[in-house]
Amino acid sequence: MNCISNNDGKNYVKNFGYLKDGTASTVITLKNDQGTEISVSNFGATITSIKTADRNGIFKNIVIGYSNVTPYEKGTPYFGSTIGRFANRIAKGKFTIDNVEYSLPINNGNHHLHGGNKGLDKILWDIEKIDPQQVILKTVSVDGDMGYPGDLTVQVKFSLDSGNNLRIDYQASTNKKTPINFTNHSYFNLSGDFQNQINNHELILNATQYTPIDSEFIPTGELQYVRDTPFDFNKSTIIGKQIIHTPFGFDHNFVLDKELKHELYNDLYRAATLTDPTSGRSLQIYTTEPGLQFYTGNFLNGTLNTENDLPLNRHTALCLETQHFPNSPNEPLFPNTILHPDTIFTSSTIYSFKIN
């Protein structure tokens, strides 16, 4: 149940339109003294807009998003959504826990992707707490939901501080062993203009290895060194220079090296730095997660439009999805993704917005 039926006089809380069944959805806008504004809807715990300044003080929205719930309910390629119960792919939708085989819906070729057709991105979350700096959303995915075992309680907190850090904290608990993997699926273009390709953006990924995949995007189970391959982003690299060496663009999980700590939140390590040399906007990503899926909007093909009705073409936005590795429930050597009933899972990621 949505515990906030109106905005209770809070001008940063607004109606986000109605679902097909008539239920109201909500959008909350966090703002700081630097003028940065981040909007989060309780539909899919979705980031719908991130407005940051460029080096001339011009604010633009740098993520793909809409101002009403309808396109999200119809289905987008996960624009800004919270992904769960399991982000990325589970091969053939199958895994086994304690000799019991579970089958999940197949929604991506032969495989299960991003929690199934009605994952955490397509439900209305309860609003637990809001103030101008933070929003806490919560949901319970019941035993058997999208084929997963256990009643899973998930909480996501989005908070914006005065240093332009958007921190996302995930927390989860279950009453049966179950695989989990959460991420945020924001599509960035730091120019704020989604008619531009992201090829001129410069990227650093703090990863000396990645998980190679087969032709259906399932990891082979090995870890491979990025050195001397197009996957080497250890030094700042123009994405366009590397993307031409891949068949369709990047859609790969990188194994993060945990070296540089965040100066304030030092349980988080720097995973990536993305910079748009033209606008001067830069995004640093810190996380507690072991992996990051770098996806260059390869499946955007002009059929979906921006809020202003302009077509979204291939490589006009990119995702940097902090997460555990794809298909982990079937790869015992990958970091564990099975949550046990007696533990509370926590995970955090920071998007830190800077100007160069």
The least distance separating ligand GLA from the CB of residue 275, rounded to whole angstroms, comes to: 21
Separation CA 147–CA 102 (nearest Å): 7
What stretch of H or E contains 74? helix 70-74
Separation CA 255–CA 180 (nearest Å): 18
Window of 36-44, 55-63, 191-199, 293-301 that interacts with ligand GLA by CB under 6 A = 293-301
In angstroms, the Cα distances linking 186 to 171, 250, 258, 260, 295 are: 19, 16, 23, 23, 11
Alpha-carbon Rg for the chain, nearest whole angstrom, is 19
Contact between 248 and ligand GLA per CB under 6 A: no
Count of positions on this chain that bind ligand GLA (CB under 6 A): 11
Closest CA to 234 of 263, 282, 201, 273: 273
Separation CA 250–CA 336 (nearest Å): 25
Catalytic residue, candidates 185, 252, 262, 315: 185
Among residues 251, 278, 306, 330, which is the contact residue for ligand GLA, using CB under 6 A? 251
Would you call 340 a catalytic residue per the annotation?
no
Contact between 294 and ligand GLA per CB under 6 A: no
Among residues 293, 322, 337, 352, which is the contact residue for ligand GLA, using CB under 6 A? 293
Among residues 299, 302, 335, 343, which is the contact residue for ligand GLA, using CB under 6 A? 299
**Bridge pairing between strands 224-225 and 237-238:** unpaired
DSSP, residue by residue, 94-163: EEEETTEEEE----BTTBEETT-TT-GGGSBPEEEEEETTEEEEEEEEPTTGGG--S-EEEEEEEEE-TT
Contact between 212 and ligand GLA per CB under 6 A: no
When the beta carbons of 304 and 338 are compared against ligand GLA, the nearer one is 304
DSSP designation for 63: B
**Near ligand GLA in 46-105, by CB under 6 A:** 77-78, 88
The least distance separating ligand GLA from the CB of residue 109, rounded to whole angstroms, comes to: 10
The least distance separating ligand GLA from the CB of residue 243, rounded to whole angstroms, comes to: 15
Would you call 185 a catalytic residue per the annotation?
yes
Window of 221-229, 292-300, 336-344, 346-354 that interacts with ligand GLA by CB under 6 A = 292-300
When the beta carbons of 91 and 113 are compared against ligand GLA, the nearer one is 113
When the beta carbons of 160 and 210 are compared against ligand GLA, the nearer one is 210
The per-type count for the chain, helices as H runs and strands as E runs, is: 2, 27
Structure-token match 């540089």, residue found = 260
Tell me which residues touch ligand GLA (CB under 6 A). 77-78, 88, 113, 217, 251, 293, 295, 299, 319, 321
Give catalytic residue positions.
Answer: 185, 321
